[in-house]
Amino acid sequence: MTDLYRLLPEEMEKMVTDMNHPRYRADQILYPLYYKFPKNISDLKQLPIAMRDQLIADGYTIGSAVEVHRVVSEDGDTTKLLLNLADGTPVETVLIQYPSSKIGGHPRSTICVSTQVGCAMGCIFCATGQMGFERNLKAEEIVAQVIHFANLLMQRGQHVTNLVFMGMGEPLANYDETIRAVRLLTHPRGFGIGQRNITISTIGIISGIDRLAEEDLQIGLAISLHAPNDMLRKRLVPTAGPHSVEDLIAAGKRYFKRTGRRVTFEYALIEGVNDSAEIAKELALLLDGNGSHVNLIPINPTAGNFQRPSRRNVLEFERILYNAGVNCTVRVEKGSEISAACGQLRTDIVG
């Protein structure tokens, strides 16, 4: 069985011509896939009945994600879905919306997609990391998450504007399928979203960062740093290597040099663990002259026994970095009350 959402446009053309049909039939499949959201082959009404029958006989399918559970934040800006993929595998996906700066304009609609069921990185403050690793998702299963929300947004007269690979799992540990999904979603004959509207987040797989830099893609890279020294980082990220901080800073520099895209370092602030003024100064010294951006993320409630710092301490940490010349912002969190924010995703139904 082959899911049509797995095929890049060039592969779709080859499939069509191998079936002895004109090349233009590929676009008669691609357009409805990404803009009409068919549920099965018989919905491809642009194709002759005989061709639809042939596709079915040859084992082609249209995979879709079935919504099992939906939770919406109090302000209505964040929607978390538990989706069952074609084989019944459950996965969580989140829509985060921000109002348009233009009167009557479309909101910025960001889909936070998952690349794995669970995660093997084991970060002690992350709900996904604590559920363990189950399996990698295929590219078409990643695409299915986006398509499900695209369909939902279309019904509202809205559209997907941004994608972040920050859901369940480590994207660069599922490298080939993640990159195939990116190419499917950015191809002008596929979903067609701009490459600069996509960010991949990684806990720090160096080989994956270097491979990504060579892909000739203009996507953003966010590296989860969380500590300015190896001892503290190893405590928070058990899979971290002995020189992970130095290695990550160097990999970020290589990525910027190769792509021209500024790297973001994500830093989850945990009360009494990595939020002191002394640690802020150590982080500032580490990133001095780096040219990167730091995204400070006050820790969200998870299964772990960790607390977010006070607002005063968060702003003091930001002030120290800023005064040292480090570009930084405090992330505006959405959806934490429905366990839809950073580090909170897992596949049990809550709320």
The catalytic residue among 13, 92, 140, 177 is 92
Instruction: Let me know whether 290 and 244 are in one domain.
Output: yes
Instruction: Let me know whether 79 and 19 are in one domain.
Output: no
- Calculate mean pLDDT across residues 175-190: 98
Map tokens 């797989």 to a residue: 205
- Calculate mean pLDDT across residues 159-185: 97
* Residue type present at position 55: L
Helices and strands in the chain: count of H runs, count of E runs: 11, 14
The catalytic residue among 112, 119, 123, 342 is 342
* Residue type present at position 272: G
Instruction: Let me know whether 223 and 121 are in one domain.
Output: yes
pLDDT at 345 over 70: no
d(CA 223, CA 237): 13
- Calculate mean pLDDT across residues 263-273: 95
Instruction: Let me know whether 104 and 197 are in one domain.
Output: yes
Neighbours of 97 (CB within 10 A): 21
Q: Pairing between strand 108-112 and 162-165?
A: parallel
Known catalytic residue at 342? yes
Please report the pLDDT score of residue 212 as a whole number: 98
Give the end of a domain, one of 36, 61, 86: 61
Using DSSP's 3-state secondary structure scheme, residue 249 falls into: helix
Please report the pLDDT score of residue 132 as a whole number: 84
Range of the domain at 85: 66-338
Instruction: Let me know whether 241 and 97 are in one domain.
Output: yes
Instruction: Let me know whether 164 and 38 are in one domain.
Output: no
Domain annotation covers residue 46: yes
pLDDT at 303 over 90: no
Cβ contact 200:244 at 8 Å: no
Using DSSP's 3-state secondary structure scheme, residue 215 falls into: coil
pLDDT in tens, 137-161: 999 999 999 999 999 999 999 999 9
Please report the pLDDT score of residue 338 as a whole number: 47
Cβ contact 290:246 at 8 Å: no
d(CA 129, CA 237): 10
Known catalytic residue at 119? no
Map tokens 């194709």 to a residue: 47
For residue 94, what is the domain's CATH number? Answer: 3.20.20.70
pLDDT in tens, 93-139: 999 999 887 777 789 999 999 999 999 888 888 877 778 899 999 99
Cβ contact 199:263 at 8 Å: no
| Domain count of the fold of the chain | 2
Instruction: Let me know whether 247 and 317 are in one domain.
Output: yes
d(CA 47, CA 348): 40
- The proportion of the chain whose per-residue pLDDT surpasses 70, expressed as a percent, equals 93
Cβ contact 80:91 at 8 Å: no
Domain annotation covers residue 110: yes
- The proportion of the chain whose per-residue pLDDT surpasses 90, expressed as a percent, equals 81
Instruction: Let me know whether 190 and 209 are in one domain.
Output: yes
Give the end of a domain, one of 61, 80, 104: 61
**Across 54-58, 73-77, 91-95, least confident range:** 73-77
DSSP 8-class letter at 23: T
- Calculate mean pLDDT across residues 314-319: 96
pLDDT in tens, 74-83: 888 999 999 9
Please report the pLDDT score of residue 320 as a whole number: 97
Domain annotation covers residue 218: yes
For residue 51, what is the domain's CATH number? Answer: 1.10.150.530
Domain annotation covers residue 347: no
Between 244-259 and 277-287, two packed helices, what is the crossing angle to 10 degrees? 40
Please report the pLDDT score of residue 351 as a whole number: 40
